[in-house]
Amino acid sequence: MLDVLIVGAGLSGIGAARHLQKDCPTRTFAILEARDAMGGTWDLFRYPGIRSDSDMHTLGYAFRPWAERKAIADGPSILRYIRAAADETGVAQQIRYGHTVRSARWSSAEACWTVDVEQKPAGKPVQFKARFLYLCCGYYSYAEGHQPAFAGQAEFRGALVYPQFWAPDLDYQDKQVVVIGSGATAVTLVPEMAKTAAHVTMLQRSPTYVVTRPSEDAIALWLDRHLPVRLAYALTRWKNILMGMFFYRLARRRPAGFRRYLVDMAARQLGPQFDVATHFTPNYNPWDQRICAVPDGDLFRQIRNGKVSVVTDTIERFTPHGILLGSGLELPADIIVAATGLKLNVLGDIAIRVDDKPYTPGQAMTYKGMMLADLPNVAMAFGYTNASWTLKADLTAGYVCRLLNYMERNGYSVAVPKGDPGVAAQPFLSFTSGYVQRAIALLPKQGDRKPWQVHQNYLADLLTIRWGRIADGVMQFSNPKGHP
Ligand SMILES: Cc1cc2nc3c(=O)[nH]c(=O)nc-3n(C[C@H](O)[C@H](O)[C@H](O)COP(=O)(O)OP(=O)(O)OC[C@H]3O[C@@H](n4cnc5c(N)ncnc54)[C@H](O)[C@@H]3O)c2cc1C
């Protein structure tokens, strides 16, 4: 019987394990990972130019400074960073690869979880028992992306590719490429492919806010030169947290002004000839959906160079040689990249039962955005949508350690946030983006009051998660007989 079973060896799972190892040194734990490698997102995605769009001083762990020059980092550097963190701490040795968790059953009588796992390569069934489950499974399906079917798709004679399943040998040199979409993936791929492709067209149904960010942070580099590494990292991290919060708040309080500021910024980089009103002026307010960052304005530069064009139109159908648009125009293409998004999932698609009753996360309410009502001894890592994921994952890991230590000190073996039917349910995420809206029924709900709200605000979470009382009246503790 393990004390804690972590599911997922991505950025969150490795960070969670490090926290446990340091703050709960007597607790036994293991990490089950479905894939054959750690790193999650940063190992899976291999499309050209894959990178973060938040800065690594906040996407990195609080416990391990980001030491590279670039603050907006490429995927391989992020993967190296995660691997180094896991190796240095010894956490890597606790990972069991090729273990996909399919279901988890809580027994109140035994006060433990029984977890059913499929082990690679043959799918051999294996069971684990653990007192506490810590789900660090990310938020999207690794098996499939969002792949809408386009009319005439089968007629297209070129290559149709998906960013999540990139073929490493795809040759796009001197080819005509059309990238469908203008989200974070598209704005990353487009300028990178344009370096060698004959031409890249970014085809979008509607525009996205795209903002230029410097890939190197001059203040961070200055602090690095003049201060001890850890202090410099901590200061840059705080600078970026506070600046991120400031700009987010400004955007939500003054949407019209902020919108003008973002659109003007794009217009300045694209020049007077470019039709910014059509291609870079979204019909929603900033942060109703994620704002896309482009390092050093690479996308805008490639548009200015004529290597990239942006088309805002609808797809009528695929043709043998490209895409026919709603306007009647046909875009020629040798390669079409469907950057149409992720398929969100919840809790790693694990089927959960509590004392033989199915537990449906979509009908549950989150406790502080990291546990679920009436689900005993389970925490989940779910990061911010308006700031780096790791900031929240890190607070959650700290909380789990505090909770476990509190339980140990007081002789409890079970902790469960007791659901309150009087709390009104609201959506977990307020984004209007398609990928969020498609998954809204699957996602848990948040409540209209503490501690059921999901703040999307690091300072508010510091108060409630790091400094809030563990025994807050909502978290119920017990110690079923016979389980010390
Ligand atoms: C292309 C891309 C770019 C991104 N850029 C940023 C960014 O710049 N900033 C930011 O804050 N966020 C970004 N994100 C969000 C990003 O996913 C998080 O930042 C972070 O990597 C999530 O880490 P995680 O460990 O929680 O999840 P993941 O990285 O998704 O890892 C989850 C792990 O759990 C495993 N797993 C899942 N289910 C099971 C199961 N049932 N059994 C066993 N193992 C399981 C998976 O195999 C995987 O290894 C980006 C996402 C994508 C897709």
Q: Give the closest residue (by CA) to ligand 1 atom 48.
A: 40
Residues 6+ away with beta carbon under 8 Å from 429: 385, 436, 440, 443, 454
Residues 6+ away with beta carbon under 8 Å from 318: 150, 151, 152, 153, 155, 156, 160, 324, 336
Number of H helices, E strands in the chain: 13, 27
Contact (Cβ atoms closer than 8 angstroms) between residue 290 and residue 184: yes
Amino acid at 57: H
Ligand 1 midpoint to CA 8 (Å): 9
Helix (H) or strand (E) segment spanning residue 306: none
Angle between helical axes of 229-253 and 218-226 (0-180°, round to 10): 160
Q: What DSSP line would sit under 313-350, residue for residue? A: --EEEEETTEEEETTS-EEE-SEEEE---EEE-SGGG-
Choose one of 72, 137, 188 to mutate for the ligand 1 pocket test, by most ligand atoms within 8 angstroms of C-beta.
137
CA distance readout (Å), 299 to 179, 206, 340, 353, 436? 13, 17, 18, 47, 25
Q: Give the closest residue (by CA) to ligand 1 atom 30.
A: 138
- The ligand 1 atom at the shortest distance from the C-alpha of residue 37 is 49
User: What is the structure's pLDDT at 301?
Assistant: 97
Question: Strands, DSSP E only, in 139-188?
Answer: 140-145, 159-161, 176-180
- Convert 248-269 into a string of H (helix), E (strand) and C (coil): HHHHHHCHHHHHHHHHHHHHHH
> What does the pLDDT profile of the chain (484 residues) look like in tens digits?
999 999 999 999 999 999 999 999 999 999 999 999 999 999 999 999 999 999 999 999 999 999 999 999 999 999 999 999 999 999 999 999 999 999 999 999 999 999 999 999 999 999 999 999 999 999 999 999 999 999 999 999 999 999 999 999 999 999 999 999 999 999 999 999 999 999 999 999 999 999 999 999 999 999 999 999 999 999 999 999 999 999 999 999 999 999 999 999 999 999 999 999 999 999 999 999 889 999 999 999 999 999 999 999 999 999 999 999 999 999 999 999 999 999 999 999 999 999 999 999 999 999 999 999 999 999 999 999 999 999 999 999 999 999 999 999 999 999 999 999 999 999 988 787 778 888 888 899 999 999 999 999 999 999 999 999 999 999 999 998 665 5
User: What is the structure's pLDDT at 480?
Assistant: 85
DSSP letter at 483?
-
Q: What DSSP line would sit under 188-255, residue for residue? A: HHHHHHTTTSSEEEEEESS---EEEE-SB-HHHHHHHHHS-HHHHHHHHHHHHHHHHHHHHHHHHHSH
Tokens 């470019």 sit at which residue?
274
According to DSSP, the β-strands at 199-204 and 210-213 are unpaired
Cis peptide before 121 (omega within 30 of 0): yes
Q: Give the closest residue (by CA) to ligand 1 atom 3.
A: 52
| Beta-carbon-side half-sphere exposure of residue 135 (alpha carbons within 13 Å) | 30
Amino acid at 109: A
User: What is the structure's pLDDT at 62?
Assistant: 95
Tokens 């040795």 sit at which residue?
93
Burial of 247: CB neighbours in 10 Å, binned 0-12, 13-18, 19+: middle
Q: Could you tell me how many residues make up the chain?
A: 484
Ligand 1 midpoint to CA 146 (Å): 16
- pLDDT per residue over 244-256, tens digit each? 999 999 999 999 9
With CA atoms as reference, report the closest residue to 150 among 288, 291, 280, 333: 333
Ligand 1 midpoint to CA 53 (Å): 14
Tokens 């690479």 sit at which residue?
298
Q: Give the closest residue (by CA) to ligand 1 atom 51.
A: 41
User: What is the structure's pLDDT at 483?
Assistant: 57
What is the radius of gyration, based on Cα positions, of the chain?
23
Two structure tokens written together for 471? 């025994």
User: What is the structure's pLDDT at 441?
Assistant: 87
With CA atoms as reference, report the closest residue to 324 among 203, 434, 206, 208: 203
Kindly list the protein residues whose Cβ atom lies closer than 6 A to any atom of ligand 1. 7-13, 32-35, 40-41, 45, 52-54, 59, 100-101, 136-138, 142, 185, 348-350, 381, 383, 388-389
Contact (Cβ atoms closer than 8 angstroms) between residue 41 and residue 107: no
User: What is the structure's pLDDT at 439?
Assistant: 83
Residues 6+ away with beta carbon under 8 Å from 389: 11, 12, 54, 59, 383
Q: How far apart are CA 11 and CA 56, in angstroms?
A: 12
Query: Quick check: helix, strand or coil at residue 185?
Result: helix
Q: What DSSP line would sit under 76-126, residue for residue? A: HHHHHHHHHHHHHHTGGGGEETTEEEEEEEEETTTTEEEEEEEETTTTEEE
C-alpha torsion sign, points 151, 154, 157, 162: positive
Choose one of 12, 36, 41, 42 to mutate for the ligand 1 pocket test, by most ligand atoms within 8 angstroms of C-beta.
41
The dihedrals phi and psi of 57, each to the nearest 5 degrees, come to: -70, -20
CA distance readout (Å), 61 to 84, 311, 380? 12, 39, 17
